[in-house]
Structure 1
Amino acid sequence: MMRDQWRARLMLLEERLQGGKGAGSGLYLIGTKPGLVDVHAYMNVWFMQQNVPDFLEQCFETADLTRAWFERLSEFEGQEPETISSTDALRIAKHAAPRLVAATTRSESQGFAPGEMVAVCPDDYGKVWVEGELVHADSQRVILQRITEEADTLHVHFPRAGYLVRRI
């Protein structure tokens, strides 16, 4: 049954990639350049490639555009991560200043104001609250200013989704 679901999803991609259908151009899902929607769709096809490669090949037999799209996206290369020690990371942070961010709470649904002391933590099992002065909050992110012995002044960025925020 799940294979039928995967096949149906791939056929949606195939139809989207057919020029003239929706916003598909044949190259990418919503235009002539790759976008976030391509990344989101790509990871599902990549998952199939990693876990059920033979089944993906069967699906590609009737989805030429999707195969070409997947191969095109697979050619992109990201940056190689640089490994540094925690000591080096703290040294770099201590000698850097946070980028200036306008103190604002536009689109902030809980009524917080810049300068308030708040705490932020994940809304899952990892309930470790991080405290600091609110610098910025909107519908997408929260930025706290923290002053630590190890790194002086830091701005710590949290996504809004998946995190709780409270006054302290």
Structure 2
Amino acid sequence: MPDLILHHYAASPFSEKVRLILGWKQHAWRSVEVPRILPKPDVVALTGGYRKTPFLQIGADIYCDTALIGDVLEHIQPEPTLYPAHLRGVSRVFAQWADSTLFWAAMGYNLQPKGAAHLFAGQPPEAAKAFAADRQAMGSGALRLRPGDAASAYRSYLRRIASMVEEHDFLFGMEPCVADFATYHPLWYTREQVPPVADVLNATPAVLEWMDRMKAFGHGVAEPFDSAHAIALARETEPLPPGQNFLVDSAFQDDHGIPLGSRVTISGEAFGPEPTEGELIAATRTHYSLRREDPRAGVVHVHFPRIGYVLRKVEAA
């Protein structure tokens, strides 16, 4: 079992998604706390620019985005499975909806004035302003719902989720799949991070019962770890070659006319536009991998899912 290092912070909803998967699979892992907003020098030393939370480090390999992290954790420990054979397609499609459409409706509701006031209670006004400016920069291309519109959508989605978990313990049956973990984390944020607005959940008691079942998985066994030590570990470790790095495929799939070995950037499609630049060493059906070198972290391989990310060739000056 490789050493798993999760770079995250406690109130990050997508981090909760991964923490719960780690608990369900009963992984031991190392916990590196990262800042909520820029600057994030230790993050960028490892990722080269990607600053969304969380990311997973295994030695000198850096895995970005929870969709890809799920694939890595499944490859390392296939049972219990995130992707049951009979749900392999629908569970991924549903998870993508939950991580995007449901998430943004929930956050539009969660960060209404009453929720935001609770989040920053006791902090100076500058903290709320800095957080808002940071997220505005990250989400320049993302659709943002006004609180009223977000509330309407969120209530409808909660009723639909309730209709799924009224019949059985989890969304698609008696065992959870990746769709459950993707659906849980924005609702967790409502319940745990902004309780003054969590009464929206009371209309769907079946959802609350499902959330209790999910929460019971816990977070596995986490050991605090320092970001400086994580960077040193990357510097002292050789990244794994493509095809040996806990990702499910290695065959080259060229959809851009960009050959392997090219200098490229990868950036988020709509949220987190900061690019990571490096040498393209893998472009498969499911993911991209870049080789990059950092003065502090040394040579690292940074991995992204294809879906949700934009690949561009760096043109010579």
1:66 aligned to which of 172, 188, 207 = 207
Which range moved further: 5-14 or 124-133? Answer: 124-133
Which range moved further: 2-11 or 35-44? Answer: 2-11
Residue 277 of structure 2 aligns with which residue? 131
TM-score scaled to structure 1, two decimals? 0.72
Residue 115 of structure 1 aligns with which residue? 261
2:252 aligned to which of 105, 122, 128 = 105
2:165 aligned to which of 4, 10, 17 = 17
Gaps of 5+ in 1: 20-25
8 Å contact from structure 2 (residues 264, 311) kept in 1: no
Gaps of 5+ in 2: 1-147, 244-249
Q: Secondary structure at the match of 2:224?
A: coil
CA distance change for structure 1 residues 5 and 151 in 2, over 3 Å: closer, same or farther?
closer
2:292 aligned to which of 141, 146, 149 = 146
Residue 201 of structure 2 aligns with which residue? 56
Larger radius of gyration: 1
Which one scores higher on RCO, CA 8 angstroms, separation ≥ 6? 2
Residue 23 of structure 1 aligns with which residue? none
Return the offset for 1:135. 0.9
8 Å contact from structure 2 (residues 266, 309) kept in 1: no
Identical-pair percentage: 24
- Give the Cα–Cα distance (whole angstroms) in 1 for the partners of residues 289 and 297 of structure 2: 16
Residue 22 of structure 1 aligns with which residue? none
Residue 180 of structure 2 aligns with which residue? 38
Residue 94 of structure 1 aligns with which residue? 235
**What is the total number of aligned residue pairs between the two structures?**
156
Residue 165 of structure 1 aligns with which residue? 312
- Give the Cα–Cα distance (whole angstroms) in 2 for the partners of residues 78 and 42 of structure 1: 14
Return the offset for 1:30. 0.9
TM-score scaled to structure 2, two decimals? 0.42
Letter in 2 for 1:141: H
CA distance change for structure 1 residues 43 and 154 in 2, over 3 Å: closer, same or farther?
closer
- Give the Cα–Cα distance (whole angstroms) in 2 for the partners of residues 97 and 122 of structure 1: 27
Q: Which has the higher helix share?
A: 2
Return the offset for 1:90. 2.9
CA distance change for structure 1 residues 53 and 125 in 2, over 3 Å: closer, same or farther?
closer
CA distance change for structure 1 residues 165 and 66 in 2, over 3 Å: closer, same or farther?
same
Q: Secondary structure at the match of 1:157?
A: strand
CA distance change for structure 1 residues 125 and 27 in 2, over 3 Å: closer, same or farther?
closer
8 Å contact from structure 1 (residues 17, 66) kept in 2: yes
Residue 47 of structure 2 aligns with which residue? none
The alignment yields a C-alpha RMSD, in angstroms, of: 3.0
